[in-house]
Amino acid sequence: MFGRILKTIGKVGSFLIIFLVFFLLYSSITYFEPESRVVLWQSDKPDTIPFDSTLAALTWNIGYAGLGSNMDFFMDGGGKMRDTRERTTENLTAIEKTLGGEKINDFILLQEVDINSHRSYGINELEEISRTLEYPYSIGINYRVNFVPVPLKNPMGKVQSGIVTFSKFNPKETIRYAYPGAFPWPNRLFNLRRCMVVNRYPTSNGKDFVLVNTHNSAFDNGALKQQEMDFLQEILLSEYYKGNYVVAGGDWNQLPPGAPYAELVVGSSNSSFMLTGIDSSFMPKDWSWVFDPSCPTNRYLNEPYTPGRTNTCILDFFLVSPNVSVQRCQTANMAFKNSDHNPVTLEFRLIGNP
């Protein structure tokens, strides 16, 4: 009898090992690995942005409409994988309504927009939002996995998501740049392929306006973010040295230099997310890190949001070149009701080189 039990255990163990091997093989074969530079859009008749006009851009990580104030998330120390379909739909409707009221913005930079993901019930959020905004847009896919196997009791499953730039102006060119670096195998098979989306517009004074939408790594020890930031720095400086205007915005997953909310999260990092900050010497002194110090843009997901208790910080902001004049920056305090991030708006002007 004992020998029969051992034999059964051995068969089950062998089956599990074979299944795991084939699953990892399948995941490796279907691994999403786009080219380092992908042209998303080109136009022979782009819109020309008037020099010295006031422009506005909004950045918002919408958390795939699944990370509202009631949610905690397993990757951040919570226990849930996704919210209910009803709450996800409610969040998306509220996000669309908010964005519909932000049409005064010339550019809208979004992160974590799902196209067809189990975590958001297969809803094509890009289609829904684009119907509301009626802007031209480009999407840089940064998460495409056929099956994410965690958490084991309720796997995340299929994910297809990306960062999206909406624009009133028709760009001359839009490029997806892949960030360097990746998690070790096999973790990389189920993680995001980080990228930035770069829109290029001609201006009336002959230079280009370069707009960058970025979403940097979150669940690393800072090494991946450093590689990404070095890559980003090279591109931004190269454009500025050509005389072009540069604005970069998004979810940086790190604190900007001088952020006032750092003290609220010291010692609060969990095993998955380690909060880091950008060194003030990272960019030349005449570049500007732009954020609203009066309001946090992100809240921790280790628990449902409780004002005054849940840790918050500033992860969403802008970086502008010296030939861009900042007029205003404001974070809308949405109390994290429909996303774990608040939207941030920047008003700016393109000026002459200092």
Specify the pLDDT at position 1. 60
Q: Which residues pair with 331 in a beta bridge?
A: 344
Specify the pLDDT at position 267. 44
For the stretch 292-345, pLDDT in tens is 999 999 999 999 999 999 999 999 999 999 999 999 999 999 999 999 999 999
Instruction: Kindly state the tokens that stand for 287.
Output: 């570049």
Cβ–Cβ under 8 Å, residues 166 and 139: no
Pairing of strands 316-320, 288-290: antiparallel
For the stretch 187-206, pLDDT in tens is 999 999 999 999 999 999 99
- The mean per-residue pLDDT over the stretch 144-151 comes to 97
Cβ–Cβ under 8 Å, residues 60 and 316: yes
User: What single DSSP character describes residue 254?
Assistant: S
Please give the Cα distance from 330 to 189 (Å, whole number): 37
Specify the pLDDT at position 273. 67
Q: Cis bond leading into 155, ω under 30°?
A: no
Report percent pLDDT > 70 for the chain. Answer: 93
Beta-carbon contacts of residue 189 (< 8 Å; ≥ 6 apart): 24, 27, 28, 31, 145
Pure H helices in 135-265? 223-241
Instruction: Kindly state the tokens that stand for 224.
Output: 């991946």
CA 72, 248, 250: angle at the middle one, nearest 5?
10
Q: How confident is the model at residue 12 (pLDDT cuts 50, 70, 90)?
A: confident
Q: How confident is the model at residue 222 (pLDDT cuts 50, 70, 90)?
A: confident
pTM of the complete model: 0.95
Q: How confident is the model at residue 14 (pLDDT cuts 50, 70, 90)?
A: confident
Instruction: Kindly state the tokens that stand for 59.
Output: 């950045």
The label of the residue with tokens 């960058």 reads 212
The secondary structure element, H or E, covering residue 149 is none
